[in-house]
Structure formats: structure tokens, C-alpha cells
Amino acid sequence: MRYLLALILIVPALAQQPDQPAKPDAQPAAAPAKTEEKTESPAPPATEDWLTGSVDFGYRWVGDAGNFQAYRSVVNLGEGPKLTGIDFTILDPKKRLFDRLDARGSGWGGDPYTTAHVDARKQGVYDFNFDYRNIAYFNNLPSYSNPLAPAGFDEQAFDTHRRNTSFNLDLRPGKKIIPYLAFDRNSGYGHGIDTWVQDSNDEFAVPTLLRDSTNNYRGGVRMEWCNCVHVTLEVGGTTFKDDDLSSFSGSNYGDRTTSLLGQTLVLNSLQQAYGIRGSSIYTKALATARPFSWLNLYGQFLYSEPKVDVHYTDSATGNFSQINSLLFYSAQMNLGTGAANQPHTSGNAGLELRPFRRLRIVESWMTDRYHDAASPATAEQILLTPKTLGPNLVTPLNYTQVVNYNQQQIDVLFDLSSKLTLRGGYRYVWGDATVLAGQLSQSGALASGQLSRNVGLAGLTFRPAQKLSLNLDYEGASSDRIYFRTSLNDYYKLRARARYQVAASLMLQANFQVLNNRNPAAAIQYNFGSRDNSLAVYWTPAGGKHITMMGEYDRSSLSSNIDYLGLFFSPGVSVYRENAHTATSTIDFALPGYAGLTPKFTAGGSLFISTGTRPSRYYQPLMRLSIPLQKHVYWNTEWKYYGYGEQFYLYEGFRAQVFMTGLRLTK
């Protein structure tokens, strides 16, 4: 890895880029496109370098206190040498293999978030994109396991990585017929602690190896006629495999802390293996057309039929029980086979109609249908002693899960004036589902549900001046049928957004959002409400020459009450509350310069404080100092603090000081 790091560092060390790209954790700031245009469109120099770019590297120290597992679950930044960012552009003046190549990456050197991206283009010949992400998922939180587990707090803990790789190649970009090919791969790999469950009497935490991957291949052609009709035909295929594996050897007494009928349950050995293989081929066609200047049409149709074959086995020894027959036994083996296929039909169509200059009518319609057919079968063989066969339970099942979803929506937009646009509309959502009813037995009845919802829509856009804009969005709905107790039923949503450019250097933005959902049905009594108000200030006096400030404050609240059945069917009310304050801010100061070089100091960070059902505090202040040593060499130093605490789960709190120093090289 170090050699790779060194190699990557050498190539772009000669590179240059005049302005610094945003740091990964930089806070957002209002960046109107027009401002960018001014700053990013200077006249190019007479002789432009063929290679431009930058590289950031350094060393990070992490000083932590508190629960290190919680720190890794939330932050997960580690110590060591890091290549935090690399970014270069190559312009080939002779335009041989490419006209332009952009490459960038971040988080190399063992960071939990690693990215790489390459764009290469030769005008009229090809357009190539490559993207790679490797994101670590670590999760080991006591509150998420069984705190009374004798084996410790590590149940359902995972230390895994998910990797995404994608290639995309467009041939003849910009032409009327564009063939394209693409490949995507998503995979997961890592270790964890799973649970092996033994007949509801005991469950045993066992180490597991997680391995899965999905490959997607697709190709197609985009065709265009007379700049008014476009058709894309695409064929794709997917392969999937899941080879999770668990094994254990020793004495594991599981989560049960008491004996069962005088006997102690124990797991002595376990071999558990999944062998899941899936595949799918899909066909997609989409079209857009503008037959008249007042009419746009679009439509899309897709058909796919993913299939899965299941091979599963586990064998375990120890002392187990089957409580319904008062049977104790020493070993068991499970074999699972099965298959599932899921024909999926999806289509949508719509149009935009402009009968008059001020009036637009948008109509859309969609349907999405999954009709699964599954035939799982499991066989459980119990061994009373190593040589005596016990009961053999075979459970075959054939069932079909049907999900149909449909939606139709019409919107009418009317420009009351050049500054005010009103919008009204109606959406009807309907569907039905037949699913396997949740029961404890492996076989059983099907359950059916229906969905029927009428939604009224309204909104306005008001721009009294270039500096001020206001958006309002309202959605109110009444449902005749819903699928689940917690589904949206009778609800309204209101969103308002306003932006005001007070002065050239000062902009304000405010957001307001409310969602209210009610289900007054007996034994449900669901009342859900959430509100979110935010105010953002962006201040760049003198064009940001000396100070740039961004500050945001958000106040959100969430309230939920719903009847539920608790202990032994006793009715209760599930109550959830969250009242949160969130603030983020970044202030950049240009420090007094020397020799034409200007150091820069940044201070800011974020805080999150919530009260309610899970009161939490999460602070992330930061300070950053960037000192130019030469014209193309910067010494960057950053301090960041992560402080996390929970009122009810004190042991999950942590405080971590993260200090990083390094160089940024440009030319």
C-alpha cells in the first residue's frame, strides 16, 4: 500500500491547480451558478499546461476517550499516513487517445471512505467514466445487542466493506446514434457476529464471514431523429451470489441465562453456509418525443425476471431442546433448498401540454408490478445421540407474492404573472398486494392488502425580484386503504422555501416543512407529526477576499404516538419524540500575507443536540490552517473534535481528537 501511495503521489506532484477544491467535510455554502461562472471562466493563458491538478497527503493522529467501538461505529477515522485527496486533469493538445482526462480520488491509505473517479473523453468518439467507492461499515453498539448476553456486547456487530465499481462507455457521444456499454459491481466483504437461533429456546452469537456480490452488465443504443424523437433500447443482465459462512467450535451457552428443565443448553460446534446464486436479464425501452412545440411526450417500459437458487446447510452439535415435545438432543442438521423468481413489469408515461403561453398541464402515469413465485423447502434432521436419528421435519412451500403499484398524477401550472406561478394537481395512488402472512410456522396462509389514496396538490412560485424567491408546496391526502399501520394515511405536507439576496455579499435562505399523518382507526390511533425549520446565512464581504462565512441553524421536532401490543398482547402506546437543534458553520479568514502568499484559517463545525426518546449530543468542531510555503506548496493542518454522548446510553459516548497535518502540492 505504501508503494502504491508513493506512486500515486509522484505522478501529480508536478500538477497544478490554482484554487483549492473543497475539503471532504467542508460545509455547504450557497454557490450560485452565476457566481461560479464568473470565477471559473477566466480567459485561458496563451500556453496552457497539459497537466493540472493537486495532491493532498499527510499524517493523522487520533486520540480517543470513551467507547472506542462507538467511535468506530460513528466516525471510524484511523491513524497513519493518508492520501486525503488527489485530483488532476490532462489535456492532450494533439487529441490522440483523449481530448481530456479528469481523475480524482480521496481517502486512500486505510481511510474508511475511499473513492476514485476517472472521466475520459474524445469528442465524437467516446465518453468513458469509471467510479470506485469503498465504504467501511463498522457497527458494534451495546444498545443494539443484548446487554445481558454472557458472551458480551458484540451481537450483531459487523466490520465490513461495501465496494461499488462502475464503468460506463458511450460511443459516438453527441451523434444521433449512441451505442453504450456499462458494468457495475457491488460487493460486500467482512466479518461480523451473527446469531444462530435454536428453536426459540436459545440463540448463540457466532462469528460469521460475509461475502456477497452483484454484477450488472448492460448495453444499449440511444437514437435520435430530427431533434424531436428519442428512443433508447437497453438490455441488461445481473448476476448475484451470497456465500455467507458461520462457524464455531467451543462452548457457547447462548443468551439464555437460566437452565431449561434442569438442563443447560450449549452449542459446541456449528458449520453454517449459504450458497445463493441469482441472475436476471432485463429489457428496457424508453422514448421521448416533441411532436409539436406545445407537446412533450415520454414513456418507458421495462421487463425483468430475476431468479434465485438457494442452497443452505447448517450442522450443529451441543445440547439443544425442542420444547414443544420436551425433547433434548445433541445434534441437528438443516438443509435448505429453494428457488424464487420475480417477474417485474414497470412502465410509465406522461406528457406536458402547453395549450397557452401561460398554462402548462403535466400528466403522468406509472405502474410497477412484482409477481414473485417462491418454492422454498427446508429439511431438519435431529440426532438424539451421534448414531440415533430423531424426528425429521421437511417443510416445502409454494407461494406467490404479488405487488401491484399504480399512480396517476395531473398538475396544472399557470403563470399568473411573470413573477407568480400557481400550481394545482391531483394524484391517485392505488395498488394491491398478496403476501405471505407473518406466522411462526414455515408454511401458512397468504394475506392481502390494498392501497388507495387520493392526494391533492398545490403550490406556488413567487419571484417578485431577481433577489427574492419563494416556493410553497402543499400535499394533502386521504387514504381509503393502506398496507401497514404506520403507512401514510390521512396526511398533509407543507413545504416553504425562501431565498433572499440582501446584498451582493449577503444571502439568506429559510426552509419550513411540516408533515402531519393521522390514522384514527381503532387499535391503531396513529398520530405522527414532524416539523423542520432552518435558516441559513451566507456572507462574503468584499467578494470573500478576507472573510467568508456560512452559518445554518435547523430546528426539528418529531412526535409519534401509535397503539401497539406489548407484553403478552397487553395494549400500549408506542411514543417517540425527538426535538433537535442542529447548527453548522464555517468561517474562512485570510490571514496577513507575506511574499504574495496568503495563509488561510478556517473555523467551524457542526453540533447536534436532541432531546426526547433518545437524547443525544454530537459535536464536530474543526479548525484548519493552510499556510502557503511556496506558490505551489501548502502546509495544511487540521484539528477536529468528535464528541458524542447519549443520556440513556452513557457507555456509548466517546470523545476523539483528530489531528492531521500534511502538504498540498500544486504547481
173 exposure class (CB count in 10 Å sphere: 0-12, 13-18, 19+): middle
> Residue 578 Cβ, how far from another protein at the closest point, in Å?
6
> Residue 530 Cβ, how far from another protein at the closest point, in Å?
11
Of 304, 246, 251, 310, nearest to 276 by C-alpha is: 310
> Residue 454 Cβ, how far from another protein at the closest point, in Å?
12
> At residue 18, what are phi and psi to the nearest 5 degrees?
-65, -40
Cα separation, 612 vs 601, whole angstroms? 37
> Residue 426 Cβ, how far from another protein at the closest point, in Å?
10
Cα separation, 290 vs 227, whole angstroms? 9
> Residue 366 Cβ, how far from another protein at the closest point, in Å?
5
Cα separation, 280 vs 301, whole angstroms? 16
87 binds another protein (CB under 8 A): yes
Measured between its terminal Cα atoms, the distance across the chain in Å is 26
In the list 493, 499, 624, 640, the residue contacting another protein (rule: CB under 8 A) is 499
Q: How many residues bind another protein (CB under 8 A)?
A: 234
> At residue 29, what are phi and psi to the nearest 5 degrees?
-140, 150
Cell representation of residue 153: 456486547
> Residue 243 Cβ, how far from another protein at the closest point, in Å?
11
Contacts to another protein from residues 519-558, by CB under 8 A: 519, 521-524, 532-536, 552, 554, 556
Cα separation, 196 vs 266, whole angstroms? 12
CA angle 69, 75, 76 (to 5 degrees): 65
- The cell 407537446 sits on which residue? 295
Q: What share of the chain is helix, strand, coil (3-state, %, to 5)?
A: 5, 70, 25
Q: Which is nearer to another protein, 447 or 591 (CB)?
A: 447
> Residue 279 Cβ, how far from another protein at the closest point, in Å?
11
Return the DSSP state at 33: H
> Residue 2 Cβ, how far from another protein at the closest point, in Å?
23
Q: Which stretch binds another protein (CB under 8 A): 5-13, 517-525, 628-636, 658-666?
A: 517-525
> Residue 285 Cβ, how far from another protein at the closest point, in Å?
11
In the list 375, 505, 557, 585, the residue contacting another protein (rule: CB under 8 A) is 375
* Site track for another protein across 444-473, x = CB under 8 A: x--x-x---------x-x-x--x----x-x
316 binds another protein (CB under 8 A): no
229 binds another protein (CB under 8 A): yes
> Residue 205 Cβ, how far from another protein at the closest point, in Å?
9
89 binds another protein (CB under 8 A): yes
In whole angstroms, what separates CA 484 from the centre of its chain? 24
Q: Which is nearer to another protein, 50 or 594 (CB)?
A: 50
Contacts to another protein from residues 205-224, by CB under 8 A: 212-214, 216, 218, 222, 224
Contacts to another protein from residues 127-156, by CB under 8 A: 133, 135, 139, 141, 143-149, 155-156
Q: Which is nearer to another protein, 68 or 113 (CB)?
A: 113
> At residue 8, what are phi and psi to the nearest 5 degrees?
-65, -35
- The cell 438490455 sits on which residue? 235
Q: Which is nearer to another protein, 240 or 539 (CB)?
A: 240
Contact 335, 312 (CB under 8 A): yes
205 exposure class (CB count in 10 Å sphere: 0-12, 13-18, 19+): buried
- The cell 484548519 sits on which residue? 624
User: Taken in order 382, 387, 388, 393, is the CA torsion positive or negative?
Assistant: positive
Q: Which stretch binds another protein (CB under 8 A): 4-12, 369-377, 540-548, 592-600?
A: 369-377
Q: Which is nearer to another protein, 447 or 504 (CB)?
A: 447
Of 490, 538, 530, nearest to 514 by C-alpha is: 530
DSSP-derived secondary structure for 296-326: EEEEEEEEE--EEEEEEEEEEEEEEEEGGGT
The one-letter amino acid code at 456 reads G
Q: Which is nearer to another protein, 143 or 385 (CB)?
A: 143
Contacts to another protein from residues 623-642, by CB under 8 A: none
Contacts to another protein from residues 95-114, by CB under 8 A: 102, 104, 106-107, 112-114
CA angle 5, 162, 373 (to 5 degrees): 155
Q: Which stretch binds another protein (CB under 8 A): 57-65, 383-391, 612-620, 658-666?
A: 612-620
Contacts to another protein from residues 568-597, by CB under 8 A: 568-569, 574, 576, 578, 580, 582, 584
Q: Which stretch binds another protein (CB under 8 A): 2-10, 359-367, 596-604, 621-629?
A: 359-367
DSSP-derived secondary structure for 475-509: EEEEEEE-SSTTS--EEEEEEEEEEEEEETTEEEE
47 binds another protein (CB under 8 A): no
Segment holding 598, helix H or strand E: none
Cα separation, 667 vs 664, whole angstroms? 10
Contacts to another protein from residues 283-312, by CB under 8 A: 284, 286, 288-296, 298, 300-304, 306-308, 310, 312
> Residue 650 Cβ, how far from another protein at the closest point, in Å?
15
Cα separation, 27 vs 624, whole angstroms? 13
Contacts to another protein from residues 8-37, by CB under 8 A: 21-26, 28-34, 36-37
Contacts to another protein from residues 168-197, by CB under 8 A: 174-176, 184, 186-188, 194-197
> Residue 118 Cβ, how far from another protein at the closest point, in Å?
12
In the list 80, 177, 200, 249, the residue contacting another protein (rule: CB under 8 A) is 200
Q: Which is nearer to another protein, 199 or 629 (CB)?
A: 199
Of 511, 458, 516, nearest to 492 by C-alpha is: 516
Contacts to another protein from residues 238-277, by CB under 8 A: 238, 240, 242, 255-256, 272, 274, 276
Contacts to another protein from residues 414-433, by CB under 8 A: 415, 418, 421, 423, 428, 430, 433
Q: Which is nearer to another protein, 530 or 629 (CB)?
A: 530
Contact 432, 448 (CB under 8 A): yes
> Residue 174 Cβ, how far from another protein at the closest point, in Å?
5
Q: Which is nearer to another protein, 401 or 661 (CB)?
A: 401
Contact 628, 24 (CB under 8 A): no
